[in-house]
Chain A
Amino acid sequence: MSSRVIIITGTSRGIGLGLASHYLARGDVVCGCSRAPAAELEHERYSHFRLDVADEAAVVSMVRTVMRRHGRIDALVNNAGIAAMNHALISPASVARAIFETNFHGTFLFSREVGKIMVRQRHGRIVNLSTVATPLQLEGESLYAASKAAVESFTRIMARELGSSGVTVNAVGPTPIPTDLVRNVAEEKIAALLARQAIRRLGRIDDVANVVDFFLSPGSGFVTGQVLYLGGVSS
């Protein structure tokens, strides 16, 4: 298989960094972005864009630059995300806005801009990152889970809108993975969450990559609008 051109958001750390490394190792061209430099990713097939995924002009510029450089975009993985674990009654409005800006608006902006290109190509794969916090309705994660619920709804509807264009849109919902995003979550909260999974262990980046591989594979052209949770969590 020839190199695919894949955009992955949030590649400076965590799942995004892991996925970028995974696809570079497979021979793909990866274009990543984050607000911070991607210090750990130095590769001839990797290019990094410093931007905020909620900045419309910056997203438009990145997507069109990637298109000009490579002539196509085969896949988009909307990974960039932030979380804040707090009871709803003590959550600042600014935090709610920031979570939705990054998790939902960022996903929307990248999907809209890359989607335009994929519709013209009559081919493309979009994979969005959700979370098991949404189906499990975890207390203390109302804002994060709500933002990902918006991502899931967006995934299902955009899949229908693009269904006739050869473009699929799916989502993967990881369990907690030892990344910066969950590092500050209390151990007892993690334990309580794991107790609700069918397979009671923390996730690994490889678990996420396996699902993304499936959604990106040529044989998955008839799979769209799906949200796949890891760890045996169901909606």
Chain B
Amino acid sequence: MNPSQASSHAIVQGMIVDLLPPGSDATTRIFGPGGALDSLGLVNLLADLEFRLGERFHREVVLASERAMSRTYSPFRDVAALTAFVVELLEES
């Protein structure tokens, strides 16, 4: 991970944790068994995150994409996976 990627990673991870319930951290499971959010909570998280990413990085990212849905392991399962997925999208856009 180069310095730019590391910076984006830290910013994105901070955004995600900030949008999750109090007490969440980089290891929090977001969705699925034992997850912090139900399906409507996940919808709100992704909508809020898309908005914040647009403001911070000036990129129009759609998180619930074919790419996300086709993965064997959901990028929405935990903070680490979602952070990695978002950084991947930002690097491509």
Contact = CB atoms under 8 A, between A and B. Distances in A.
B44 A64 contact: no
18 contacts: A56-B62, A57-B60, A60-B60, A64-B51, A64-B54, A64-B60, A67-B51, A68-B54, A116-B47, A116-B50, A116-B51, A117-B51, A119-B43, A119-B44, A120-B44, A120-B48, A120-B51, A165-B40
Interface string A53-68: 0001100110010011
A164 interface: yes
Contact of A119 (B47, B60, B62): B47
Interface magnitude class on chain B: 10 to 19
A57 B51 CA distance: 15
B6 to A, nearest CB: 27
Contacts of B62: 56, 60
Nearest to B43: A119
A52 to B, nearest CB: 17
Task: Give the 9 A-B CB pairs with smallest separation, nearest first.
Answer: A116-B47, A60-B60, A64-B60, A61-B60, A120-B47, A64-B54, A60-B62, A119-B47, A119-B44
B40 to A, nearest CB: 7
A164 B40 contact: yes
A157 to B, nearest CB: 14
Contacts of B47: 116-117, 119-120
Contacts of B48: 120
Contacts of A116: 43, 46-47, 50-51
A121 B86 CA distance: 24
A173 B60 CA distance: 33
